[in-house]
Amino acid sequence: MTPKNLKHYLEAWDLSDPQPLAETATSRVYAVLSGGARVVLKLLKPIGVEDEKNGAAALRWFNGQGAVHLLRDDDQAHLLEYADGENLTALVERGEDEKATAIIGDVLNQLHAASGDLPPGELTPLRVRFRSLFKQAQADSRNGSDSIYVRAARVAEELLAQPREVRVLHGDIHHYNIRHSQRGWLAYDPKGLIGERIYDAANTLCNPGGLPELVRNEARLLKNAAILAERMGCDFSRLLAFVYSYACLNASWYMEGGQYQDHSLGVARLVEPHLR
């Protein structure tokens, strides 16, 4: 049986032939036909409305530059360009890890070159994004622990105090969120942040998450960080600092849910000896 809200959008937006693609914590995703073209309909769950609103704001800003086009949206649904090719994880699995990293750098350059009158007000500042790390660090400090969260919070504070090249950010760039299309490699599912552009490269070096032995290889991490730094024209040491602080931020999100996230902390521990 067709869900009620799916039926509503099929009629309201003149769509047809819904084919389920995915279901996430925040949305149900369908491939649909619109005027004979295959596009994506994302129906938002209540938990995803606020998060996806920021993502829609970012997509409007990118306007198809390095990202899928946002074709139509309201508070409950998004209609998106369909990038139906493989994602970058497929390249990594074929042994083209460095090529995939270079593509990510190129996509980020496109996203960060997007411009307009004013950045949309719905975007989340990076300092707000890092709240969970600062909260965990404060708790550890009160307990007298100079934990990795405390050390990462100090690094994050230094980065956020003097931001460089502030841009509208995707906020969740990794190998699964970049797919090939007729227009080339395109990012999708942004979080919609604003802050220093190097942050957008940090999550990449903690991924692909399904290949932990590859990701937690120190030589591989440093090599790919160098590729991204060169591709993006950014400071290598500053990129490593963002990777370190982001990895601990990611682990702190799991801590809030009562889980220990060894994968991200493993990446952070690889990076820490290389910080200035």
- Residues serving a catalytic function are 172
User: Among residues 63, 73, 90, which one has the least CA distance to residue 39?
Assistant: 73
- What is the C-alpha to C-alpha distance for residues 89 and 198, in angstroms, rounded to an integer? 21
Q: Which amino acid is at 151?
A: R
In contact, 205 and 221? CB cutoff 8 Å: yes
**Angle made by CA atoms 180, 187, 153, in degrees to the nearest 5:** 140
Dihedral angle computed from the Cα positions of residues 42, 43, 45 and 50, in that order, rounded to the nearest 10 degrees: 60
In contact, 150 and 137? CB cutoff 8 Å: yes
The verdict on whether omega for the bond into residue 208 sits within 30 degrees of 0, i.e. cis, is yes
Query: What are the Cα distances from residue 142, in Å, to 27, 134, 136, 145, 151?
Result: 38, 12, 10, 7, 14
Dihedral angle computed from the Cα positions of residues 142, 143, 146 and 149, in that order, rounded to the nearest 10 degrees: -70
- What is the C-alpha to C-alpha distance for residues 97 and 269, in angstroms, rounded to an integer? 22
- What is the C-alpha to C-alpha distance for residues 208 and 261, in angstroms, rounded to an integer? 15
DSSP single-letter state for residue 257: T
- What is the C-alpha to C-alpha distance for residues 240 and 185, in angstroms, rounded to an integer? 25
Nearest-Å Rg of the Cα atoms of the chain is 19
